[in-house]
């Protein structure tokens, strides 16, 4: 059965173009210490077999394909993710209420073995100025709040947001509504293309349930040491 507890808050984002390198990192990591995320790059390159290879190593996997399409198409895609036995998967909340409801309904046949289903609100790479450029005139936090409300209304398990919005969302939507927060940057690490960032201890203090962390671990000279340092910073 899928373990849905939040005792392992770190989700390592495996964003590699080299399968062997990714699996080499997996072999150094302990499934008791973290979960893994596979996104668009690796899934496009290596497909469902990569998911099986990671499951064979004992890890819970977040399949981050951020589905956004008509309700029927997204429902079918989410069911396909459930068939792979992943622990968590996601859609874009901006796909709308009907799309999210269809995605949720598609998981009903999987019962307690269904993956957690969460919705991306506003990407952590986006600033208020970026939102303006696509016609969204409200600050990111307000748009996140609106989309998180829609997500809860659709019955999903939680949202992807920035840790900067976590305390607001926890107080509004309750403890059970999961907050998955990328844009995590330990002190001294490069921000890169992210905009709405926080350090790991700040994110946990703000109410994040899961921290998605990629480059600060995967691009470190010693990824295992980087992960261990983040763990220590949380204890």
Per-residue tokens: 67: 């589905």
Q: Give the range of 22-30, 45-53, 121-129, 137-145 binding ligand OMP by CB under 6 A.
A: 121-129
> Smallest distance, Å, CB 225 to ligand OMP?
17
Binders of ligand OMP among 179-208, rule CB under 6 A?
Answer: 182-183, 192, 194
**69 belongs to the catalytic site:** yes
Among residues 213, 226, 227, 230, the one that binds ligand OMP under rule CB under 6 A: 213
DSSP string, 173-235: H-TTSEEEE--B--TTS--TT--S-B-HHHHHHHT-SEEEE-HHHHTSSSHHHHHHHHHHHH-
Rounded distance between C-alpha atoms, residue 115 and residue 136, angstroms = 31
**157 belongs to the catalytic site:** no
CB closer to ligand OMP, 77 vs 120: 120
Residue 172 neighbours by CB distance under 10 Å: 13
Among 53, 69, 128, 130, the one annotated catalytic? 69
Binders of ligand OMP among 37-76, rule CB under 6 A?
Answer: 39, 64, 66
**60 belongs to the catalytic site:** no
Closest among 155, 33, 147, 27 to 95, alpha carbons compared: 147
Residue 33 neighbours by CB distance under 10 Å: 13
Per-residue tokens: 151: 């997500």
Q: Give the range of 22-30, 127-135, 198-206, 209-217 binding ligand OMP by CB under 6 A.
A: 209-217
Asked whether residue 27 is marked as a ligand-binding residue, the answer is: no
Rounded distance between C-alpha atoms, residue 169 and residue 174, angstroms = 8
Cα of first residue to Cα of last residue in the chain, in angstroms, is: 28
Residues in contact with ligand OMP, shown as a per-residue x/- string from 134 to 173 under the rule CB under 6 A: --------------------------x-------------
Residue 193, C-beta contacts closer than 8 angstroms, at least 6 positions apart: 125
Active-site residues, by number, are: 64, 66, 69
Binding positions are 15, 37, 64-73, 124, 185, 194, 214-215
Q: Interface with ligand OMP by CB under 6 A: which residues?
A: 13, 15, 39, 64, 66, 90, 120, 123-125, 160, 182-183, 192, 194, 212-216
């Amino acid at each position: 059965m899928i373990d849905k507890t939040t005792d392992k808050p770190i989700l390592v984002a495996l964003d590699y173009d080299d399968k062997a390198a990714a699996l080499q990192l997996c072999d150094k990591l302990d499934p008791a210490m973290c979960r893994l995320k596979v996104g668009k790059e690796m899934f496009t390159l290596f497909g469902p077999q990569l998911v099986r290879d990671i499951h064979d190593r004992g890890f819970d996997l977040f399949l981050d394909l951020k589905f956004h399409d008509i309700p029927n198409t997204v429902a079918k895609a989410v069911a396909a993710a459930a068939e792979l036995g992943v622990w968590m998967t996601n859609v874009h909340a901006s796909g709308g209420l009907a799309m999210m409801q269809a995605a949720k309904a598609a998981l009903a046949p999987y019962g307690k073995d269904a993956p957690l289903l969460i919705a991306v609100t506003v990407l952590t790479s986006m600033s208020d100025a970026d939102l303006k450029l696509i016609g969204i005139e409200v600050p990111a936090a307000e748009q996140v709040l609106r989309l998180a409300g829609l997500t809860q209304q659709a019955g999903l398990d939680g949202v992807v947001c920035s840790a900067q919005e976590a305390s607001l969302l926890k107080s509004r939507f309750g403890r059970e509504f999961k907050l998955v927060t990328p844009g995590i940057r330990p002190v001294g690490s490069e921000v890169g293309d992210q905009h709405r960032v926080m350090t790991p201890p700040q994110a946990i203090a703000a109410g994040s349930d899961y921290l998605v962390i990629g480059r600060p671990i995967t691009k470190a000279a010693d990824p295992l040491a980087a992960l261990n340092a983040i763990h220590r910073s949380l204890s």
